[in-house]
């Protein structure tokens, strides 16, 4: 089976997120004065061939731990695992 996975990586809570701070500081100048606690992260989208969803999750979690995030400063969370339907747009 082929799965599309989205992983979100963010700086840990409690660590100052300078990008989030910069965005938060700019929002009021555009008129949005009611926004706080902005955090900026990144998402990693990938397609994994594996036997089932559990195998995909296990593999992506290990990839996140060893490479795609730095556990010293970041949290990584799988936010989407979707089986790709053969013949659907985007699948080979």
Q: Which residues bind other proteins (CB under 8 A)?
A: 11, 15-16, 18-19, 21-22, 67-68, 70, 72-73
Task: Give the DSSP letter of residue 91.
Answer: -
Give the distance from CA 89 to its chain's centroid: 23
Q: Which is nearer to other proteins, 38 or 68 (CB)?
A: 68
Which of 74, 82, 5, 63 is closest to 41 using CA atoms? Answer: 74
Q: How far is the CB of 6 from other proteins (least distance, A)?
A: 16
Q: Which is nearer to other proteins, 41 or 53 (CB)?
A: 41
Q: How far is the CB of 82 from other proteins (least distance, A)?
A: 23
Q: Which is nearer to other proteins, 15 or 54 (CB)?
A: 15
The whole-angstrom separation of Cα 87 and Cα 84 is 9
Helix (H, G, I), strand (E, B) or coil at 54: helix
């Amino acid at each position: 089976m082929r799965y599309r996975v989205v992983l979100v990586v963010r700086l840990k809570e409690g660590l100052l997120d300078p990008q989030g701070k910069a965005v938060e500081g700019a929002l009021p100048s555009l008129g949005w004065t009611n926004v706080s606690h902005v955090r900026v992260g990144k998402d990693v989208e990938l397609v994994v061939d594996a036997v089932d969803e559990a195998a995909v999750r296990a593999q992506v979690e290990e990839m996140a731990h060893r490479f795609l995030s730095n556990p010293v400063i970041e949290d990584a969370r799988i936010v989407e695992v979707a089986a790709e339907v053969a013949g659907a747009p985007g699948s080979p």
